[in-house]
Structure 1
């Protein structure tokens, strides 16, 4: 029997509905779709870290995955406290965990680290020139990645200090922690600041949804620039072999092909299936 993977939402109900309105799915639903594509027949359950209370029986879970969200872990809120409390239970239970974007930030704060606003501004659409640290060169989460790569991204906050037990695995020039492992309590967490689970069409939708902020940040001149970019992203999503579109966007197969874009998630699932991340 395949291990059950619990997909955890850290979006409020209104945030889930807002994302469905422009991207078609809430963030945890996007993650579930990617997982089913990676592992047809995978056993999935979902939970909200705001509503779940205690985590489900750890003995029945192979792993836990935290989806992205707009949560700001450096701001004191009921949602931030609930998310950190839920993640603390995951660490205490020793269930292997993985997270993207907000998921990494939740894990860092729960283990004693810190997050804050990204300087000089949001990382929009893509995280480019991601490069392994010395520790990341030999870490199994990044197996198969080239020397540098580009990944989907959309975030205005970052981990500013890893907790004790945290190891920085990758960075780019503007985001000093793009990937990390956190060992805390009985648990091991693998996380990335970017979004390997997102399709290029979802990145297009998120880009257009945040058009005003992107233009204010100086990354586009006007809405026409973003409409053109979004159209190319949708074209590349529909036809990943379109090297002309990839070239126009400054991308390559590392992001256009699903099986390469989702490399870190696949590596986590492999580790769960081999049962090598459980406490001994």
Structure 2
């Protein structure tokens, strides 16, 4: 039987259109496409959790629910953040295993009683570097096949400041206290990462372009041309992962350049829900 998966969107209509215009797809659409490359037989549906969707009674049709990234800021009290947390609470109540990247982790943390905050070091641009597993993480199936230190695609300006009661921190980095976690709440279990295993380097390049002003304000680039040059390098490396010279220049390895390595956490989650 094919897996039935639900991909959850938390972008506003304007944010979806902006991303489609820049990258060709909204975040949840990219997420669904990545899942199809991992499991071509999966049956994938999508829903937006900030538009009042109510599919609580239908959640048990799915083997897994996956929350895509978005610009939602879960440390703020808005109609959108409340709706997202409420939707996640219903997923927990339904007992369907869930996974989330970036904002997805933050939505689950807040829904279960945790707290998010703006990232002290400012926006994480491009990559989360020197991610290390905790002692719990080294034994957890989410991080199976990850090395002892790795880099992953990442773009975010906020972090989980305090995990909910009973949650397990699985990985961390110097500037991001929770890079991966397991959260159990009610009937449900959630695995999440602060980074983006679903994104390739061309998607990261487009994200950097869209946030060029923020990149320059943080002093990470001194001109629009410098931002563009970096984005072009990422796109070239994405098209030709064998360009070891470019991988060396930007300080990444096969954990980033090869899709099979970038997507480890997604593969492990799908293995978990199949079991």
TM-score computed with the length of structure 2 as normaliser: 0.98
- Corresponding pairs, count: 274
Is 2:39 aligned against 1:33?
no
Give 1:150's aligned residue: 151
Instruction: Using the TM superposition, give the Cα deviation of residue 56 of structure 1 relative to its aligned residue in structure 2, in angstroms.
Output: 5.2
Pair 54,40 (structure 1): closer, same or farther in 2 beyond 3 Å: closer
Matches within 5 A, 1:128-207: 128-207=129-208
Is 2:90 aligned against 1:89?
yes
Give 1:73's aligned residue: 74
What's the Cα RMSD here?
A: 0.8
Asked if 1 retains the 8 angstrom alpha-carbon contact of 2:60 and 2:94, the reply is no
Instruction: Using the TM superposition, give the Cα deviation of residue 99 of structure 1 relative to its aligned residue in structure 2, in angstroms.
Output: 0.1
Distance in structure 1 (CA, Å) of the matches to 2:34 and 2:169: 25
1:7-65 Cα offsets, whole Å, 9 max, x none, are 00000111100111111110000101110111112110000102312335233100000
TM-score computed with the length of structure 1 as normaliser: 0.96
Give 1:270's aligned residue: 271
Asked if 2 retains the 8 angstrom alpha-carbon contact of 1:130 and 1:149, the reply is yes
Asked if 1 retains the 8 angstrom alpha-carbon contact of 2:3 and 2:41, the reply is no
Distance in structure 1 (CA, Å) of the matches to 2:214 and 2:234: 19
Unaligned runs of 5+ in 1: 275-280
Secondary structure (helix, strand or coil) at the match of 1:176 reads coil
Is 2:47 aligned against 1:47?
yes
Instruction: Using the TM superposition, give the Cα deviation of residue 3 of structure 1 relative to its aligned residue in structure 2, in angstroms.
Output: 2.2
Unaligned runs of 5+ in 2: none
Instruction: Using the TM superposition, give the Cα deviation of residue 146 of structure 1 relative to its aligned residue in structure 2, in angstroms.
Output: 0.5
Secondary structure (helix, strand or coil) at the match of 1:151 reads strand
Distance in structure 2 (CA, Å) of the matches to 1:121 and 1:141: 27
Instruction: Using the TM superposition, give the Cα deviation of residue 244 of structure 1 relative to its aligned residue in structure 2, in angstroms.
Output: 1.0
